[in-house]
Structure 1
Amino acid sequence: MASIRNANPATTPGTRTASLSEKSSDFDRKEDLSLSSDSDNTYDPDAGASDEERAAIDAALLKRLDWKLIPWLCVLYLASFLDRANIGNAKIEGLEADINITGTQYNIALSVFFISYSIFEPLSNILLKRMRPSIYIPLIVIAWGICTVLLGIVKNFSHLCAIRWFLGMAEAGLFPGVNYYLSCWYKRSEFGIRAAIFFSAAAISGSFGGLLAAAIAKMKGVGGLPGWAWIFILEGIATVLLGIASFWLVHDFPAECTFLADDDKVRVLRRLKEDKQASAGTEEFQMKYLYQSLTDWKTYTACLMYMGVDGALYAFAIFLPTIIKELGFTATKAQLLSVPPYVLACLITIATGFYADRLKQRGIFNLLLPLFSIVGFTLLLVQSKPAVSYFATYLCALGIYPCISNTISWVSNNVEGVYKRGVTIGVFIGWGNLNGVMSSNVYRKADAPHYRLGHGVVLGYLVVGLWGGSAINWLLLKRENRLRAEGKRDHLVEGMNEEEKLGLGDVRPDFRYML
């Protein structure tokens, strides 16, 4: 891990003002803030402080992290989701007719995005770690912003597919990258609400996107361009500007960031160690971490859960405006009516993150919330009344959006080791997003206005993937915790020293999985 001796001198309220050079000589002889097995003897910036003082310092530090890390990342994800889903808004403004493509070709263009997105996601977290977030994230934001602008000048099917491919490649690093990044800053019981707030930007973008598209589409004819072209161009330019600003507003990992003083960096790493994240910020990449992830059953239950919810998410996000329009509303009204379900989804997503952290239980939410979506898609499947169908979209949103961030938090909480966690997050999110190919092709134009094939397939994803995968994951985690409590995993660490035990990550017998 990199040395932190040249860190920003600013510090959290209540921090002692002495510099590191004035601290104990034992700490001075250390080259970094390694959280290895002997780290209990490293410098403690709060030595001698009372429990109340420590709690106050910790609360101030956590508040500072939240304000420095979360808001800007939410803005970037809002832009990301807006730029991948605005093709649905462009469609109902005449994209297909203007560039002379069929419904099947439109679906292929949607699929192309998810293929490149999924291919590059598993690698993105390794690149994020090696290149530093403050460089990697701004670069990919600028790249996908340029791709979005180019979508506004496409002339045919080939142009559309090519640009959607590169859009997926550029966006691949943000969502898994930020979730991995945040998991390296917060305790397991604190991560859920932050992940939920971050992901709620997707729901906000759904509502914001509908309103924005309705307004921008009125520019039809300006510069000789159709309204849908201006949706891509203006949103893409805004994203490029956000990417440029990100060079100053995205921060690096705890040990290398510049907005924390030396003492606060020690505190962040100590908090993670106390939370059994013993390798936080200290590992160097080795192939064994890739092997550990790919041979861990939790990686595959994560894939099952996430394919179930992600397939449903993209079907909902991309086709909601079309579904509403087919109920008999005009294009503009369909854009506007797509807003309220997203507002509900945003509120429930944040509430789920908050209560899951408070209760330290995530599985129960993944078992209860999908029931709403299952009822919603069942209503869409079996009846045709516009009012009932529109009500069903609220149920669909309520059960899908909260389970995205909750699933990511649940999996992240139960994988120890920064590189193993990074690989695992990249793998299961990448696999989940590959199922966007399904979402792009089961809502066929020939099935309008009721889209029963699409609704039926998505319903199967929710029942088998999200709900079924969550049930399997919860039962296996509970069983493993019981076996560890009974001492039936103690043989795994026999003859090992402390450093070797820490190297086992979440396989350590003293590590308890969050249910």
Structure 2
Amino acid sequence: MAISQPPAQPGPPPQDVEKAAHHHRGSSSSSIGITAPPPPAPVECPPHTTPRRLTTRIDLHLVPFVIILYLMAFLDRVNIANARAFGLEADLGLSGTQFNTALTIFFVPYILFEIPSNILLKKISPRIWLSGCCIGFGFVTMMQGLVQNYAGILVTRFLLGLFECGMFPGCFYLLGMWYRREEAQKRFSLFFSSTSLAGAFGGLLASGLGSMDYMRGYRGWRWIFLVEGAATVVIGAIFLFTFPGFVEEAKWLRDDERDYIKARLHADQGHSAAERSITLKDVGKVMSDYKVWLGGFMYFGIIVPAYSYAYFSPTIVQSYGYDKIQTQLHSVPPWAVAFVFAMIIATASDWFKHRFLFTVGPICISISGFAILLNVHDNLPVQYAALVLICMGMYSAMPIQVCWFNMNLGGHHRRAVGSAWQIGFGNIGGIIATYSFVGGDFHKGYIICVSFICLSALSCIVYAVAIMAENKKKARQTLDEGMTEQERAELGVSFFTISTKGKCVC
């Protein structure tokens, strides 16, 4: 890695130089500034390329893979809602809250094994671990298409949660170890918007597969599971040979490119400590930080309405008087609008280098949608528009929350544990969501959803206040306090920011 010397005379920096101290420059009205030591020497980009070209290469080698992986995971997770519209409950003899219980059991292993999954991901490598899990949950999805009773659907849903537990936190963890904070949000939101694409694509696919009713003796809902699960298995097998890993494992990078990427990530996020295994002591240190708990509550609050929408929106749309095929087709537009809006919000968030307002703003849009549904009961266009507001608000706020929290965690250990904790704890809300619309009581479900999304907004506000307090505290202290770089990595370096401009090392 080449380190250029500071110029003797002031002048404009070379175009191929990334300023390692970018975040130490003066703060603005949207950032929290601190007193910082003199900036380190600039990090020089290899002469044969440019930072923009290198970032584009990273995008092409990383983002499409995580998008496809999570799209298939989310599709296999929520396609049970589409299958329900085609007679799953009647064929399996489900009654009362048995369908809700089948949804709930998915979250038991999904919550419990997220932190162990991220630890194994770092130990084994993303390519082998995430690809193997993809094959696993694809096969289980196929088995859902062959179950004959309530016990069968419970077992397959449990195994589905076990294989899927590492997908979401693992991909966010992987993305966070490639991108700087100021360029991360668009990639995080594009990845997260796989959920919107899965919702839209799932509705279209279900409308086609459902029309295969009784083909070769199988009901339409069985074909939904069989075809989508088989596609996932094939993709997982391909990913075993092609899925990307961490920077240290990237064989498609030259040595000088790899050194440059690690150097600029070090300048932005601190020492990653990738060479050391994660221990229980590391987990304890991360969990002793109250801000980590706030990150969990942010996600927990928004998960309840998000999963409620994912699992029950076909039921809500069907209550408007549409037949089975029209129900699937009318479930597509809200997801499509959510995808576009999420990317607009993400681009604006990166442009303004700010996270807080771009989290709370979309949450308020969702709250307005729920308010409409709670008060309007006889105007179908307005009710349908409210569903669009709910979907676009939630699924644009969620990736901002996760990126904001993850990029405030420095190093492999804090990010592996912290990201898995946020997603794992947050998905407890998924259990609540599965019982939010019991017996078709939509009014009660809307009340539950709006209550929890308000909890998410409150947690975001408290998290922002905690960041400001932490930054003021650290501004009065010596940043390094005599610690070596390795010692700071052992403690877990974090960057607590409301925006991506000012940073506090603690």
Alignment TM-score, normalising by the size of structure 2: 0.87
The amino acid that maps onto 1:181 is: L
Question: Is the alpha carbon distance of 1:513 and 1:356 closer, same or farther for their aligned partners in structure 2, counting shifts above 3 Å?
Answer: farther
Q: Among 458, 461, 470, which residue is 1:471 paired with?
A: 461
The amino acid that maps onto 1:307 is: F
Question: Is the alpha carbon distance of 1:497 and 1:74 closer, same or farther for their aligned partners in structure 2, counting shifts above 3 Å?
Answer: closer
Instruction: Supply the distance in 1 between the matched residues of 2:494 and 2:132 (Cα, whole angstroms).
Output: 36
Question: Is the alpha carbon distance of 1:155 and 1:358 closer, same or farther for their aligned partners in structure 2, counting shifts above 3 Å?
Answer: same
Give the number of equivalent residue pairs: 463
The amino acid that maps onto 1:342 is: W
Q: Equivalent residue for 1:424?
A: 418
1:74-113 CA distances to partner (integer Å, 9 max, x unpaired)?
Answer: 1111111110000000001100001111141000000001
Question: Is the alpha carbon distance of 1:135 and 1:143 closer, same or farther for their aligned partners in structure 2, counting shifts above 3 Å?
Answer: same
The amino acid that maps onto 2:50 is: I
Q: Among 487, 491, 494, which residue is 1:504 paired with?
A: 491
Kept after mapping to 1: 8 A contact 2:360/2:397? no
User: Is the counterpart of residue 144 in structure 1 residue 140 in structure 2?
Assistant: no
SS at structure 2 position matched to 1:223: coil
Q: Among 354, 359, 363, which residue is 1:361 paired with?
A: 354
Q: Equivalent residue for 1:296?
A: 289
User: Is the counterpart of residue 442 in structure 1 residue 433 in structure 2?
Assistant: no
Question: Is the alpha carbon distance of 1:368 and 1:508 closer, same or farther for their aligned partners in structure 2, counting shifts above 3 Å?
Answer: closer
After superposition, where does 1:351-430 map in structure 2 within 5 Å? Answer: 351-385=344-378, 386-430=380-424
Greater Cα shift, 278-287 or 451-460? 278-287
Question: Is the alpha carbon distance of 1:512 and 1:45 closer, same or farther for their aligned partners in structure 2, counting shifts above 3 Å?
Answer: closer
Question: Is the alpha carbon distance of 1:46 and 1:414 closer, same or farther for their aligned partners in structure 2, counting shifts above 3 Å?
Answer: closer
Identical-residue share of aligned pairs (%): 33
Q: Equivalent residue for 1:238?
A: 231
Question: Is the alpha carbon distance of 1:46 and 1:202 closer, same or farther for their aligned partners in structure 2, counting shifts above 3 Å?
Answer: closer
Question: Is the alpha carbon distance of 1:46 and 1:443 closer, same or farther for their aligned partners in structure 2, counting shifts above 3 Å?
Answer: closer
SS at structure 2 position matched to 1:275: helix
Instruction: Supply the distance in 2 between the matched residues of 1:509 and 1:176 (Cα, whole angstroms).
Output: 20
Kept after mapping to 1: 8 A contact 2:136/2:163? yes
Q: Equivalent residue for 2:5?
A: none
Shift of 1:426: 0.5
User: Is the counterpart of residue 251 in structure 1 residue 244 in structure 2?
Assistant: yes
Q: Among 454, 458, 469, which residue is 2:449 paired with?
A: 458
Q: Equivalent residue for 1:212?
A: 205
Greater Cα shift, 500-509 or 234-243? 500-509
Q: Equivalent residue for 1:22?
A: none
Kept after mapping to 2: 8 A contact 1:77/1:202? yes
Question: Is the alpha carbon distance of 1:335 and 1:406 closer, same or farther for their aligned partners in structure 2, counting shifts above 3 Å?
Answer: same
Q: Among 335, 338, 356, which residue is 1:345 paired with?
A: 338
The amino acid that maps onto 2:288 is: T
Shift of 1:481: 1.7
After superposition, where does 1:290-329 map in structure 2 within 5 Å? Answer: 290-329=283-322
Shift of 1:298: 1.5
User: Is the counterpart of residue 481 in structure 1 residue 471 in structure 2?
Assistant: yes
Q: Equivalent residue for 2:10?
A: none
Question: Is the alpha carbon distance of 1:303 and 1:509 closer, same or farther for their aligned partners in structure 2, counting shifts above 3 Å?
Answer: closer
Instruction: Supply the distance in 2 between the matched residues of 1:131 and 1:304 (Cα, whole angstroms).
Output: 30
The amino acid that maps onto 1:365 is: F
User: Is the counterpart of residue 273 in structure 1 residue 270 in structure 2?
Assistant: no
Question: Is the alpha carbon distance of 1:228 and 1:476 closer, same or farther for their aligned partners in structure 2, counting shifts above 3 Å?
Answer: same
1:52-78 CA distances to partner (integer Å, 9 max, x unpaired)?
Answer: x8xx52111111000010012111111
Instruction: Supply the distance in 2 between the matched residues of 1:379 and 1:409 (Cα, whole angstroms).
Output: 30
Instruction: Supply the distance in 2 between the matched residues of 1:446 and 1:235 (Cα, whole angstroms).
Output: 28
Instruction: Supply the distance in 2 between the matched residues of 1:92 and 1:509 (Cα, whole angstroms).
Output: 45
Instruction: Supply the distance in 2 between the matched residues of 1:316 and 1:126 (Cα, whole angstroms).
Output: 31
Q: Equivalent residue for 1:72?
A: 65
Kept after mapping to 2: 8 A contact 1:353/1:406? yes
Alignment TM-score, normalising by the size of structure 1: 0.86
SS at structure 2 position matched to 1:127: helix
Instruction: Supply the distance in 2 between the matched residues of 1:454 and 1:508 (Cα, whole angstroms).
Output: 38
Kept after mapping to 2: 8 A contact 1:180/1:422? yes
Q: Equivalent residue for 2:24?
A: none
Kept after mapping to 2: 8 A contact 1:443/1:454? yes
Q: Among 103, 128, 148, which residue is 1:135 paired with?
A: 128
Q: Among 427, 432, 444, which residue is 1:433 paired with?
A: 427
The amino acid that maps onto 2:170 is: G
Shift of 1:507: 5.6
Kept after mapping to 1: 8 A contact 2:409/2:495? no
Gaps of 5+ in 1: 1-13, 16-39
Greater Cα shift, 331-340 or 233-242? 331-340
The amino acid that maps onto 1:138 is: S
Question: Is the alpha carbon distance of 1:498 and 1:172 closer, same or farther for their aligned partners in structure 2, counting shifts above 3 Å?
Answer: closer
Instruction: Supply the distance in 1 between the matched residues of 2:151 and 2:366 (Cα, whole angstroms).
Output: 36
Gaps of 5+ in 2: 1-14, 17-39
Instruction: Supply the distance in 2 between the matched residues of 1:435 and 1:509 (Cα, whole angstroms).
Output: 25
Shift of 1:502: 4.4
Question: Is the alpha carbon distance of 1:116 and 1:502 closer, same or farther for their aligned partners in structure 2, counting shifts above 3 Å?
Answer: closer
Question: Is the alpha carbon distance of 1:58 and 1:46 closer, same or farther for their aligned partners in structure 2, counting shifts above 3 Å?
Answer: closer
Kept after mapping to 2: 8 A contact 1:184/1:281? no
Question: Is the alpha carbon distance of 1:446 and 1:390 closer, same or farther for their aligned partners in structure 2, counting shifts above 3 Å?
Answer: closer
User: Is the counterpart of residue 86 in structure 1 residue 79 in structure 2?
Assistant: yes
